[in-house]
Amino acid sequence: MTYIHLDYADLALAALLVVLNGGLSVALELGVERRLAIAALRMVVQLTLVGLVLTTLFALVSPLWTSLAALGMILFAGHEILSRQDRPLSGLWAYGLGTGAMLIASVSVTLFALTTQIAPTPWYDPRYAIPLLGMVLGNTMTGISLGLQTLTTALVRERAAVEARLALGATRRQALLPPVRLALRSAFMPIVNTMAATGVVSLPGMMTGQILSGVEPVEAVKYQILILFLISGGTGLGSMAAVLGCAHRLTDHRHRLRLDRLTPASKS
């Protein structure tokens, strides 16, 4: 395997493109030059730090430090899920439900891959565990965010319809089935679209990366297929757990719709 080493001078050369964007923004008064600069700077700092952290983790090969890093990633992604909800559940449920669902789904799918298909020695080798978890996590996070957001907005919008069924004696399961279906469908859409478009419209980043580092395309493709299957598994498990959990939380044992368990609507 061969790959071409990059110098900092190479990066500086590429950074000129961002400077060019900034110049464009100034010339056309787009007003994004400041945000562009901050974002580019953040990207460099964040990735450099991640590079350092990964180097340390890979050198340690410690189950403890690897799981701590994994937990940190999950908690951060949980925060991201929360910030994508207009009206999340109130209280600890807001953060807990999405994060919990994501934790269960992404960890179990990653463990499944690490102990069977990829099986490095030791199985918790961070060189495999962390990137795998990262890819599964990112997509599971998107699925859960979409699922929860769709469910809560559908329940608020369709409140009269859901309560009409409950008032006529439907169970909470029957009454909530249409919004739950809608939510799960929208949670699945990104991964379905990704799988359908992959290789035709887009070349996945991981596969491209492997090819750039000298892996045979056929081997890189096999890895990519595996990853996409893992991602759809994680997305399915995670959104199912989150959406069903949310539907359960928004109803009670007397089969009442409990929208009072959402955070209050804002004015806008």
Partner 1 sequence: MLSIRALTRPGLEPVSFGLAAGECMAVRGASGSGKSLLLRAIADLDPNHGDVSLEGRSREAMSGPEWRRQVTYVPAESGWWTERIDGHFADWTVAEPLAVALGLPPSCRDWPVSRLSTGERQRLALARALVQRPRVLLLDEPTSALDHDSGKAAEALIARHLADGGAALWVTHDPAQSARVATRVLGVENGRIREDVA
* Class of residue 69 by CB neighbours under 10 A (exposed 0-12, middle 13-18, buried 19+): buried
Stretch binding partner 1 (CB under 8 A), from 143-151, 196-204, 208-216, 246-254: 246-254
Q: Does 31 bind partner 1 (CB under 8 A)?
A: no
Distances (CA, A) of 53 to 39, 87, 181, 265: 21, 35, 41, 40
> With contact defined as beta carbons under 8 Å apart, do 204 and 198 qualify?
yes
Quick one: which of 113, 104, 130 has its CA closest to 225?
113
At 150, give phi and psi (nearest 5°). -65, -45
* Residue 164 beta carbon to partner 1: minimum distance, rounded to whole angstroms: 3
Binding-residue total with partner 1 (CB under 8 A): 23
Q: What is the 3-state secondary structure (H, E, C) of 167-188?
A: HCCCCHHHHHHHHHHHHHHHHH
Comparing CB distances to partner 1, the nearer of 5 and 254 is 254
Comparing CB distances to partner 1, the nearer of 127 and 258 is 258
Stretch binding partner 1 (CB under 8 A), from 40-48, 118-126, 131-139, 164-172: 164-172
Say how many C-beta atoms besides its own lie within 10 A of residue 254's C-beta.
8
* Residue 259 beta carbon to partner 1: minimum distance, rounded to whole angstroms: 10
Stretch binding partner 1 (CB under 8 A), from 1-9, 80-88, 135-143, 153-161: 153-161
> With contact defined as beta carbons under 8 Å apart, do 149 and 116 qualify?
no
Comparing CB distances to partner 1, the nearer of 165 and 222 is 165
Please tell me the distance from the alpha carbon of residue 220 to that of residue 109, in angstroms, as a whole number: 20
Comparing CB distances to partner 1, the nearer of 221 and 259 is 259
Of the candidate residues 46, 55, 171, 193, the single one contacting partner 1 (CB under 8 A): 171
Of the candidate residues 12, 59, 167, 200, the single one contacting partner 1 (CB under 8 A): 167
Site for partner 1 in 247-266 (CB under 8 A): 252-258
* Residue 173 beta carbon to partner 1: minimum distance, rounded to whole angstroms: 10
Q: Which residues bind partner 1 (CB under 8 A)?
A: 158-171, 175, 178, 252-258
